[in-house]
A and B are shown apart, each in its own frame.
Chain A
Amino acid sequence: MLATKKLSSSLLYILVIAILLIQIYPVVWLMLSSFKSSIELTTQPFAMPSSWSFENYASVFRESSLLLYIKNTAIVTFACLALIIFLSATAGFALVKMINRLNSKLLLFFTIGIMIPIQVTLIPLFIMYKDYGLLNSYPALILPQVGFALPLSILIFTSFYRYVPGELLEAAVIDGCNIYQVFFRIVSPLTINTTITVASINFIFIWNDFVFSNTFTNDKAYKTIAVGLQEFIGAFGATDWGQTFAAISISIIPIIVTYLFLNKYVMAGVSDGAVKG
């Protein structure tokens, strides 16, 4: 009995580790490959790099505008995050903690947004941006990303606010706080974890966005990484893979580091969204 239990437990671990390899090996392989020369890539694809050469990285920085794209992506991402957090924290608060007969209908209306395919907005937004000269600008990317991030973010905030006891708010009101003070001084300090959850989930979505960036920008000055990386792919498939892998590594490292630091909050957001919502 004990022996079978031990056997099945080791089998379980073997399987779990095999799955782990499927999930992360491609990313690890890509990072290792970024240190290899073109010749080594074709002759020794699975081996560790024979020497840790940064030549691919040097040529990426020398020959491409990757740093500019990283800067653009960072500007767009952080502007979006600031807006998303402010808008969903305030709206979520009013929807759950304030008393208004429209609350449940409005929450439902926001929630529907999760199902809406972003592609349906591309043509109208493109035409509108063209009319107002907003193509190739940061707002062109920021506006729709904030709009589409609101449903899930508001949902996560409301599921937290429900746990904030009403007595706490009442006590603050009796002590003479007005509603804005209740929100900013009493409730907001409690939402730090929820705020990090909302920020980290949206950080991943926005940093990685391809569709909006590909549609609304074609000027180098405003391109983000997701679109800029495309430049490394030769028109007729003549791709310098070593350089491509280096560029990819540079662009995914910020997000992987952020994720590894904040994974607790990302996990909370992902499971909250579906399990509680």
Chain B
Amino acid sequence: MNVLKDKKAWLIFILPALIFYLGTVFVPIIQSLKYSFQQWNGIQEPAYIGFDNYIAMFKDSYFWNSVQNNLVYVVIVVFMQVFIGLFFALMLSYVTKGAGIFRTLYYLPAVVVTVAIAQMFRNFYSLQPLGLLNMFLDWVGLSHLQSAWLSNPHTALIAVSIPEGWRFIGMYMVIFYAALIAIPKEIEEAATIDGVSGWQLIRYIKLPSIMHVLSLSLIMCTTGALRGFDIPYIIGVPGSATELVTTYMYKQAFSTIQYGYGSSIAVFIVIESLLAVLLIRAIFNSRKGDA
């Protein structure tokens, strides 16, 4: 089929997408790398300073604090999205009537504008005026636990992590649900005949069958949380309590206008995400070896 081998036509089909992709995704990455070796405030000429930005970054306690916060954020978000999402999907896989409607509605928070979610939770956590959570505590007689959840430095980080975790539970649920109902019925039936039931069926048949989807979701979710930005940026408190690596990078770049330093943090985020992907894949591959 010479028509399908036509190199010129192939280029015409590929090039527009490739140019867009290179220009808006890859060229900026290379430029970030270049800027990360420069000192530049956008006004004076950029000056090459070697690894100085990276050295400054590793000595910057505020930066390390944001890395630490980011890890807490990742743990909360991954727990909510992957584990609770998996739990919801397992529940739903036993539902016979109306599963489609439940699935559609569970996904709803994922389509709502982030700013709306953030403001909704700001109201929810608020103490003055009394927000939903504090009203609820009052209602169940736990008014002594009332707090301004977002401005209390002990709870602020958890408070900004929960909305992000919550909004995408439905998305991961949809993914797991699709994988669960794709498990061939014969496998389940054979196991049931062999006397496997309930929890064992989930533990030894269902979860191993969707391992591939689980590992992919864990990668998606972890890298997503490592670059988490919107909600902590919008409702996070001034100071360090809710600072994540991305929000710190953003402020360094666009508030204090240190393009070089900001770029070195951006490069750190890319490397950190790649390491997370490799780590998760290594864990899943070694477990495959055990079985």
Cβ-defined partner of A119 (8 Å) among B16, B92, B123, B250:
B250
> Is B174 in contact with A117, judged by CB distance below 8 angstroms?
no
A160 within 8 A of B: no
Interface residue B269 (Cβ < 8 Å from any Cβ of A): yes
Q: Is B107 touching A123 in the complex (CB atoms < 8 A)? A: no
Chain B, interface size: which category?
Answer: 35 or more
Give the distance in Å from the alpha carbon of A272 to the alpha carbon of B196 in the complex. 30
Q: Cβ of B4 and Cβ of A248 under 8 Å apart?
A: no
Q: Is the CB of A271 within 8 A of B174?
A: yes
Known: A19-B91, A87-B17, A270-B175. A120 touches B107 (CB 8 A): no
Q: A151 — which chain B residues lie within 8 A by C-beta?
A: 21
Write the B250-269 contact mask toward A (1 if CB under 8 angstroms, else 0).
10011000010011001101
Of residues 1 through 23 on chain A, the ones whose CB sits less than 8 Å from some CB of chain B are 12-13, 15-16, 19-20, 22-23
Beta-carbon contact of A29 and B132 below 8 Å: yes
Interface pair A124/B175, CB less than 8 Å apart: no
Whether B171 pairs with A256 at a CB distance below 8 angstroms is no
Chain A's closest residue to B103 (CB) is A267
Minimum Cβ distance to chain B for residue A114 (Å): 8
Q: Does A244 contact B (CB under 8 A)?
A: yes
Closest CB-CB distance, A26 to chain B, in whole Å? 6
Q: How far is the CA of A46 from the CA of B4 in the complex (A)?
A: 63
Q: Which residues between 255 and 277 of chain A lie within 8 Å of chain B, taking CB atoms?
A: 255-256, 259-260, 263, 266-267, 270-271, 273-275, 277
A93, A114, A260: the one contacting B13 at CB < 8 Å is: A93
* Residues of B contacting A110 in the complex (Cβ-Cβ under 8 angstroms): 17, 21
A146 at the interface (CB under 8 A from B): yes
Assuming the contacts A124-B31, A263-B104, asked whether A119 and B227 have C-beta atoms less than 8 A apart, the reply is yes
Q: A24 at interface (Cβ–Cβ under 8 A)?
A: yes
Are B91's CB and A12's CB within 8 A?
A: yes
The answer to whether A248 touches B226 (Cβ under 8 A) is no
> For the complex, is A188 an interface residue (Cβ under 8 Å from B)?
no
* B106 neighbours in A (Cβ, 8 Å): 19-20, 23
Q: Are B28 and A124 in contact (CB under 8 A)?
A: yes
Complex CA distance for A274 and B130, rounded to whole angstroms = 41
Given the contacts A97-B4, A123-B259, A241-B123, A271 and B21 also touching, CB distance less than 8 Å: no
Nearest residue, chain B, Cβ from A12? B94
CA distance A23 to B115 in the complex (A): 17
A-B contacts at CB below 8 angstroms, number: 266
Cα A210 to Cα B234 in complex, Å, equals: 10
B249 neighbours in A (Cβ, 8 Å): 119
Q: Which residues of the partner chain B approach A233 to less than 8 Å between Cβ atoms?
A: 119
Please tell me the number of chain A residues within 8 Å of chain B, measured between CB atoms: 96
Give residues of chain A (202-246) contacting chain B, Cβ–Cβ below 8 Å.
Answer: 204, 207-208, 210-211, 215, 225-227, 229-230, 232-233, 241, 244
Instruction: Name which of B48-56, B153-161, B213-221 contacts chain A.
Output: B213-221
Contact of B199 with A by CB under 8 A: no
Q: Nearest Cβ in chain A — how far from B177, in angstroms?
A: 8
Q: Is B124 an interface residue (CB 8 A)?
A: yes
Chain A residue with the shortest CB-CB distance to B266:
A120
Q: Are A226 and B114 in contact (CB under 8 A)?
A: yes
Q: Which of B58-66, B185-193, B270-278 lies at the interface?
A: B270-278
Q: Which of A15, A20, A115 contacts B105 (CB 8 A)?
A: A20
Chain B residue with Cβ nearest A38: B129
Question: Closest approach, in angstroms, between the C-beta of B132 and any C-beta of chain A?
Answer: 7
Bound together, the chains give a CA A230 to CA B102 distance in angstroms of 32
Q: How far is the CA of A114 from the CA of B227 in the complex (A)?
A: 13
Give the shortest distance, in Å, between A99 (CB) and chain B (any CB).
5
B170 at interface, CB cutoff 8 A? yes
Q: Is the CB of A123 within 8 A of B262?
A: yes
Assembly CA distance A177 to B112 (angstroms): 45
Q: List the 4 closest pairs (A to B, CB-CB), nearest first.
A: A147-B24, A271-B178, A94-B13, A91-B17
Can you list 29 pairs linking A and B with CB atoms under 8 Å apart?
A: A16-B91, A23-B109, A26-B120, A27-B120, A90-B14, A90-B16, A91-B13, A93-B13, A94-B13, A117-B246, A119-B249, A119-B266, A121-B28, A121-B29, A169-B4, A179-B9, A180-B9, A182-B3, A208-B112, A208-B113, A227-B115, A229-B113, A256-B108, A259-B107, A267-B104, A270-B171, A271-B177, A273-B175, A275-B213
